[in-house]
Amino acid sequence: MKLVIVESPTKAKTIGKFLSADFQVESSFGHIRDLPKSKLGIDVEHNFEPQYVIPTKARKTVGKLKKEAEKAETVILASDEDREGEAISYHLKQALGLADPKRIVFHEITKSAIENALKNPRDIDMNLVDAQQARRVLDRLVGYKLSPFLWKKIMGGLSAGRVQSVAVRLIVDRENEIRAFKPEEYWTIIAKLLKTGVGELEASLTKINGKSLEKFDIKNKEAAEKISEDLKTREFAVVKVEKKEANKNPFPPFITSTLQQEAVKKLGYSSKKTMFIAQRLYEHGLITYMRTDSVNLSQEALIAAKRWLGENLGENYASAAPRVFTGKSRLAQEAHEAVRPTDIYKSADELEDESDKKLYRLIWQRFVASQMPAAKVAMTSVEISAGPYTLKANGQQIIFDGYLKIWPQKFSEKDLPPLEDGEKLDLKDILPAQHFTEPPPRYSEAGLIKTLEENGIGRPSTYAPIISVIQLRNYVQKEKGRFSPTEIGEMVNKVLTEHFPQIVDISFTAKMEENLDQVADGKERWQQLIGDFYGPFEKNLEEKYVEVAKTVVEEKTDQVCEKCGKPMVIKFGRFGKFLACSGFPDCKNTKQLKKEPPKEIGMICPKCGQGQVVERRVSRGRARGKIFWGCSRYPECDYASWENPLGKTATGDNNDGKKEE
């Protein structure tokens, strides 16, 4: 008997369908060894040796796998094809005492992929293991060394993380830009023009006396009105008509970051929910591996796409296939395929779960569209003169939809009446419009992922955990789909920026990621990488314990403690402000601050039919800080839901999209 070990029961079940009775497939239920939670778990005096333990919840699984491994003639480790998966295989080898296990990898769970992997086993790649181990050790050193500093200098319950702190800094920096922003006024002028008996068009003023207008050239109402009045006295004539065709090319198939970004935009899914569903689709054999930064596609997939397009849409839509993309990220970690369906003939309508159906359809459409021809657009540009003024009108029409047939995009077609050079036009109206510059927008989840990726912060597997943890720790909050820092988040960022600038430095963090890539490629020793970082970090930390004074995180109030008579103060906790007695620790009286009324969502309670459904936040327990919806008549009515009854995204976004167990 041959024993195959994978990470999850779902994956085990799917793989088991493709193997003969000679194979037994078991699951490790994820990692079976980890650093201990109760202590640092790293011997900094002896080459940063990790002190791994088997967590209590994994002990029963390890015992079972040991027994099965002893009976097996061969043990095959089939965890995912990335650093995390390689580390899981390594820890299985160590914990189970395996002498010579076979390691197989595949990027899709299909019969052919599994059979091919079994024909080509390899050894565990220790370079990948070392890269994952280096990241784990690095993050543990930062978190377990820096967090106590924050407890002492700000307040208890805080935490610092090597990558999460950079994400918080990005959000704080953007908020500071918004606060410092001063709007500037500018004006634009549009002329409504007529071609007698044919139609009208709108033309924008672009030049005066042959000089192109800059954004702020028309600064105020007076200047705009003066130009408008002058334009009313002029004759309008067509100077030049230009017509051309332009191609609108399809996007590459999904990589992890673009999948997360599009799922936020099109489906309203958080990155955490997207990866949760994608993991499920992968383990059921429906899509290729979802943690990837490669846009490569296999020959089999390219051929299948061309065949499907020819059979279902016709040769016009199959002519571009196969289309090969080479825009691989400079940050690429492993050479996987792009995210795509394993079987192009598998329809989303065949899936039962609605969330699975939506995400699978998105992946399917993106893959198929990537193999389709460009959309062809007819572009018309008209230049119009009016004395010293030059105006422009533009029109565009789709003449062949190409990939847009499968991947719809917002595209506003605009018709212009037929015009010829020298033709006179009548003036219908002049429309001056006032504008003000706007501050940069707060980060959406899609925008933050894009910025992290562009700056080399994190890797495909880390975007969702980063975004999840900074919300869970209440360093940032999400309102109307966009992130803003909390007061606690700004305090922590201020301390880290002033005293540990490397930790929140974007270029330093990106460089560290590149160094981890060097470890994965076998070009750098992981202990050397950690040592170069830890020495200066530890020295600076020791100095800051002495230099930095405790931050005062309380505000005075005119309220008096009813228990001891001392003044009450506003203090900051992990989940916001609260009232506390200034006589602490002698008096431990605390009270909640008066809260704003819960936000109504415009729906009558489906349970009692009397109250309004309101958005609330859990105030205690493991789910503290999570968003839920309940009846405004609570406790008379106990209606509650983790899912928005209107199907919209929560103001604070639970970031998982599934019911809390």
Active-site residue list: 289
R_g of the chain computed on alpha carbons: 30
Residues 6+ apart with CB under 8 A from 426: 193, 194, 195, 196, 236
- Going from the C-alpha of 564 to that of each of 556, 559, 580, the distances in angstroms are 16, 12, 12
- Whole-number Å distance between alpha carbons of 232 and 283: 68
- Whole-number Å distance between alpha carbons of 582 and 577: 15
Question: What are the E-state strand segments in 121-209?
Answer: 185-195, 199-208
Q: DSSP string spanning 299-363?
A: HHHHHHHHHHHHHHT-HHHHTT-S-------TT--S--PPB-BS-TT--GGG-SSHHHHHHHHHH
What is the bridge-based pairing of β-strands 2-6 and 599-604? unpaired
- Whole-number Å distance between alpha carbons of 580 and 128: 50
- Whole-number Å distance between alpha carbons of 579 and 594: 10
75 beta partners = 3
- Whole-number Å distance between alpha carbons of 23 and 196: 81
3-state secondary structure of 633: coil
Work out the end-to-end distance of the chain between its first and last CA atoms, rounded to an integer number of angstroms.
38
DSSP state, 443?
P
User: Under a CB-based contact definition with an 8 Å cutoff, are residues 167 and 466 in contact?
Assistant: yes
